[in-house]
Amino acid sequence: MKNAISLIFAGVIGGLIALGGVYFLMPIPTATTTDAQFAKTVGDQVNVNPKTKAVPYDFTAAAKKAMPAVVHISSVESKDLAQQRRQNQNQNNPFRNFFGEDFLGGSPQKRGSGSGVIISQDGYIVTNNHVVEFADQLEVTLYDNRSFLASVVGTDPQTDLAVLKIEADRLPLLDYADSDAAQVGEWVLAVGNPFDLTSTVTAGIISAKGRNINIINSNSGIEAFIQTDAAVNPGNSGGALVDEKGRLLGINTAIATQTGSYAGYSFAIPINMASKIIDDLIQYGEYRRAFIGIQISDMDSELADELGVDITQGVYVSSLVEGGAAEYAGVLPKDIITEVDGRNIKSVPELQEFIGRAKVGETITLTIVRRGKTQEIPVVLKEG
- CB neighbour burial string for 238-265, b if at least 16 within 10 angstroms, e if fewer: bbbbbbbebbbbbbbbbbeeeeeebeeb
| DSSP of 145-193 | S-EEEEEEEEEETTTTEEEEE-S--S----PBP-TTT--TT-EEEEEE-
Q: Which of 72, 75, 130, 280 is catalytic?
A: 130
**Contact indicator for 223, 215 with CB cutoff of 8 Å:** yes
Q: Which of 85, 105, 84 is nearest to 95 (CA)?
A: 105
Instruction: Specify whether 130 is catalytic.
Output: yes
**Contact indicator for 307, 334 with CB cutoff of 8 Å:** yes
* Residue 166 neighbours by CB distance under 10 Å: 23
Total count of residues recorded for the chain: 384
In what helix (H) or strand (E) does residue 202 lie, and over which residues does it extend?
strand 200-211
Q: Which of 113, 115, 179, 237 is catalytic?
A: 237
Instruction: Specify whether 72 is catalytic.
Output: no
Q: Which residues are designated catalytic?
A: 130, 160, 237
